[in-house]
Structures are given as C-alpha cells and as structure tokens.
Amino acid sequence: MRPRLVVFLENDVSVFRVSDAELEALSTRLRHYEVRRVRDRKALLEELPEANVVVTWDFRADWYARAPKLTWVATPSAGRERVAADPNGRVRVTYGTFHGAIMAESLLGMVLFMNRRFGRAEAARRERSWDRDAYATTRPLDGQVALILGYGHIGAAMARLLAVVGVRVLGLKRDPATAPPGAESVYGPDSLHDVLPQADHVVCILPGGASTTHFIDAAALARMKPSACLYNLGRGNAVDADALRSALERGAIAGAFLDVLPEEPLPSSSPLWDTPNLYLTPHASAIRDDYLHAYFAELAPLLLA
C-alpha cells in the first residue's frame, strides 16, 4: 500500500492555492505516494487518521492526536506561526526555504525605487510638476551599505543580488557563527546600535515573536543616517510603527518601505497610509506566479529521499 500524502493548500491568494495542474505534476513526480487533495478543514480532519504526510498552510497542535500514522507535516511558509510542532516530538515539521530568491528581487526593487526617488516621481506626476532637480541628491548604489537584520538563508539570497549592483552587505544574526556566506561581516544583536550608523539601507527580515517586537524602535531609528531607508519584509511586529511614523514626519530618516505591518490588513483609518516617504505593499514580497511550483520542486526530492 502506498503512503498517503494529503494536500491542503487553500488560500485567498491565488498563487498560494494549489491548482489542478500543480497537483497533477506533483502526483506524477511522487508516483509511489497516494496524493489526495482536500479543500477545507473538515475534509482534512477526516483524512488525518490515514495520512502519512500532510502538506498544508495550517496545522494545530491538537490535530496530531488524530493522526497516528502521520510522520511529516510540510508547509510552504517560512514562518512558524501557523503550523504547530508536534507536542510529542513524533512528527517531523518542515518549512519552505525557497523564498530567498523571490524576496531578494522584491528588496532590490524597493532599494532601486528609494534610491532613484521614484516615490517623488509619482508625487510629481500627481502634481503635474516637472522637477528634474529633485533627483540631484541621488547617489550610485555601488558602494552603499545594506544592513540585513535576521541574516539567514533569505538574507544570503538578498546579499547575492545586492552585490550585483555593488551594494556592500552587513548582517545581524542571533548567532553570527552560523551565518551563511555573502555578508562582509555579521554581528550579534547587541551590536545593533553600533552598526546602524554605517547603513544606507536597513533591511528587517526578522521572524515574529516576543523577542523581536519593536526591535527597531525610536532609539534604533535615531541611530540611522538621515539619508538612510528602512525596509521590513519579515514580520510586522519588529518595527515600532508609531516611532517610524514620527521619524518620517520629522525627516529623521529618508524613507521606509514596509511589506509587513503590525496589523494586516492595514485598516483604512491607519495614519500609516498618509505618512510621508512611507511606501507599502500588502505582505507580497514572496508572491510570484511560480510560488507553489518552486515549493514542490524543493519538497519532492525530500519526499523521495
């Protein structure tokens, strides 16, 4: 009897929702698995008693007791928030590690946008203003410094792409000794305030959790160069939004680009929508049309090993 692999990948974002073609391609590649798709939580729970592997966005801790044959829960997500670990340590849990290339392209776009003053270009378009001198303060990216907070495999992918345009990369990591290659230097969290003044671009890709809440606060923002920009592509809790708004309104830093927010979706009443030199994307830095194709390309060899 073939092991049963249950796929529960339904999502409001279309590319996060498995298509028939993607499922068929996965089934063809994993011929020695019985691949079954479910479309809602009730159907998933009904499948759990016979499931050997579950591929899902969500898995609660109490569901493991319903799945005596389960050996593996796999999720495309890089974050740990939605898939609980097995309380008994019996079931393996793995997370997607393919996001780096996608997020690196998002970051490069943001950095180019900020560095070339494209936000000013859009404002000028709305004002029907032909102000060429607004770009007189732009500088070459070659030789600028990006500081990546939470420097792991995603940060290393970002470092490789930024290096193509000459940006030097520094990293910050809980354990610098385990940092992947790509950064000139990697520091521990205690060095944050010492290294911030060196950065032209401060990139936050920290995970969620109490230990990272307001990692970038008013004191950290005060250590940034007035010409520097802040980017958050990790989790929204890491940046103190009130402190950031204040810094931008005072011109204490040049700008910010947030892909993640403290509250998502961002309420229409939030003052962040109208904060000067602040640009927002809706938690979209890892969205691309080949998202699940990339994930299955990563997962399938592991299942076949």
Q: 113-131, pLDDT tens digit by residue?
A: 999 999 999 999 999 999 9
pLDDT of residue 226: 98
pLDDT computed for residue 193 by the predictor? 98
pLDDT at residue 194, rounded to an integer: 98
Instruction: Please state, in angstroms and rounded to a whole number, the distance separating the CA atoms of residues 167 and 72.
Output: 40
The pTM score is 0.96
| Residue 1 or 219, more confident | 219
* pLDDT score, position 41: 97
Active site residues: 235, 264, 283
Pick the CATH number of 4-96 from 3.90.550.10, 3.40.50.620, 3.40.50.10540, 3.40.50.720: 3.40.50.720
Strands 255-258 and 229-232: parallel
Q: In the chain, what percentage of residues exceed pLDDT 90?
A: 99
- Asked if 4-96 and 99-280 have one fold, the answer is yes
Strand order in the sheet with 168-172: 185-187, 168-172, 145-149, 201-204, 229-232, 255-258, 278-280
Angstrom distance (rounded) from CA 132 to CA 273: 26
- The reported pLDDT for the residue numbered 281 is 98
16: which residues sit within 8 A by CB, 6+ positions away?
A: 9, 57, 76, 287, 291, 292
Q: pLDDT value at position 177?
A: 97
Work out the pLDDT band at 7, boundaries 50, 70, 90.
Answer: very high
pLDDT at residue 232, rounded to an integer: 98
* CA angle (85, 91, 95) in 5-degree steps: 55
Q: Domain 99-280 belongs to what topology?
A: Rossmann fold (3.40.50)
Mean pLDDT of 62-76: 98
Mean pLDDT of the chain: 97
Q: What is the pLDDT of residue 100?
A: 98
Residue 74 is predicted with a pLDDT of 98
pLDDT in tens, 145-197: 999 999 999 999 999 999 999 999 999 999 999 999 999 999 999 999 999 99
Domain map of the chain by residue range? 4-96, 99-280
Q: What confidence tens digit (pLDDT) does each residue in 225-281 have?
A: 999 999 999 999 999 999 999 999 999 999 999 999 999 999 999 999 999 999 999
